[in-house]
Amino acid sequence: MTSNRRMLAAAATAALAACAASSLPVQTRLRVWAFTVPWDAKSSASARDHAAQFSSVISGWIQLDSVTGHPFAEFRDTLARNTPSGLRLTAMVTNAVGGRFHPDAVRHLVADRAALAHAAGEIARRASSYHGLVVDLEGFVAADRQILTTAVRTIADSARAHHVTPIAVAVPAVDTAAFPGRIFLPAADYLLVMLYDQHWTTSAPGPLAAPDWVRAATALRVSEVGAHRVVAALPLYGYRWPTSGHAAALTFADAERDATAAGVHLQRDSATSTLRATSPGVWDLWVSDAGLIAVLIREVRAQGVTTVALWRLGQEDPAVWGVVRGAR
């Protein structure tokens, strides 16, 4: 962790002067993307209720088989069947199946170029009714750079041939060993930086996205590709860590419920702007809310980033929509 912090601090200093050449227009008004998930009805309901807030909603899930890497059909996009007027829907291709990512399936697919081309064509066909595509392939290590580059380029080329644009690639906040931003350009138009899980299910308890961590991680990615190519993905959820074992993800409403049941209060941690509650000897929870999102939007905008993405709808503090309206 110490070396990561040094790397992030150095990148933060360099990033403000960095600029990547691009034909993309420079945005000044905040654009808001948001993710829905097909297994939670509250997710699509939130997208409908707040449709006017979004530039795009990523709702069309295309999953890759955990063995072959070929796309298969498990979920239906409920928003696509009855899209609110003016709402632009985006597709997403992911190697997440059954609650975890399957990098071996993508490695297997890339090893067979004919199979990769066929899979990319099928992904593009499914995405062709959407405005854009997010490529979310996770679980890789530094040795997989060429595999990732090949997979992203092949998928992106096929998508563009089917007139699916723009293309965004999701990358972890600070893992530039396996996911160096520049390798995905110019195949991708945007780097969607997942600015969350600073602390995760198997880590010690802590904030998901402390402002200083988000500031440094954003600077790192801006230094790679330029602010106009960065989409800052921010968390709407939290984790509850038991005294032993793995944490469980929870919504803002879950956090309020758990705190009330334990007779404790959600209180803002002054060092990280994050809401926290502790039931002594039982659990420790940290959760995002409107106050944290307001701070994080200011942090990324200060570095020239003008597109944020919210992961994920249906989990949020209801007050976040006032923050989003005010930030735009």
Q: What is the pLDDT of residue 8?
A: 45
CA torsion through residues 119, 122, 123, 124, sign: positive
Are 316 and 323 contacting, i.e. CB atoms less than 8 angstroms apart? no
In terms of Cβ atoms closer than 10 Å to its own Cβ (0-12, 13-18, 19+), residue 276 is buried
C-alpha 105/C-alpha 71 separation (Å) is 11
Q: Is 39 helix (H, G, I), strand (E, B) or coil?
A: coil
What's the pLDDT band for 81 if we cut at 50, 70, 90? confident
Q: 10 pLDDT exceeds 70? A: no
Q: 55 pLDDT exceeds 50? A: yes
Residue 286, CB-side half-sphere exposure with 13 Å CA sphere: 24
Q: 60 pLDDT exceeds 90? A: yes
What's the pLDDT band for 27 if we cut at 50, 70, 90? low
Q: What is the mean pLDDT of residues 288-310?
A: 98
Q: 5 pLDDT exceeds 60? A: no
Joined together, the tokens standing for residue 174 give: 């600070």
Q: Buried b / exposed e across 113-144, counting CB within 10 Å, b at 16+? A: eeebeebbbebbebbeebbbbbbbbbebeeeb
| Sequence-separated (6 or more) residues with CB below 8 Å from residue 116 | 69, 109, 110, 150, 151, 154
Q: 17 pLDDT exceeds 60? A: no
> 104-113, pLDDT tens digit by residue?
999 999 999 9
- What is the radius of gyration, based on Cα positions, of the chain? 19
Comparing 25-39, 138-152, 162-176, the range with the smallest average pLDDT is: 25-39
Joined together, the tokens standing for residue 25 give: 């227009």
Are 126 and 155 contacting, i.e. CB atoms less than 8 angstroms apart? no
Q: What is the pLDDT of residue 73?
A: 87
In terms of Cβ atoms closer than 10 Å to its own Cβ (0-12, 13-18, 19+), residue 73 is exposed
Joined together, the tokens standing for residue 183 give: 């390798």
Cα distances (Å, whole numbers) of residue 19 to 15, 179, 268, 296 = 8, 19, 35, 22
Are 239 and 284 contacting, i.e. CB atoms less than 8 angstroms apart? no
Q: 9 pLDDT exceeds 80? A: no
What's the pLDDT band for 239 if we cut at 50, 70, 90? very high
Are 137 and 161 contacting, i.e. CB atoms less than 8 angstroms apart? no
Q: What is the mean pLDDT of residues 24-53?
A: 90
> 167-203, pLDDT tens digit by residue?
999 999 999 999 999 999 999 999 999 999 999 999 9
Q: What is the mean pLDDT of residues 268-292?
A: 98
C-alpha 230/C-alpha 222 separation (Å) is 7
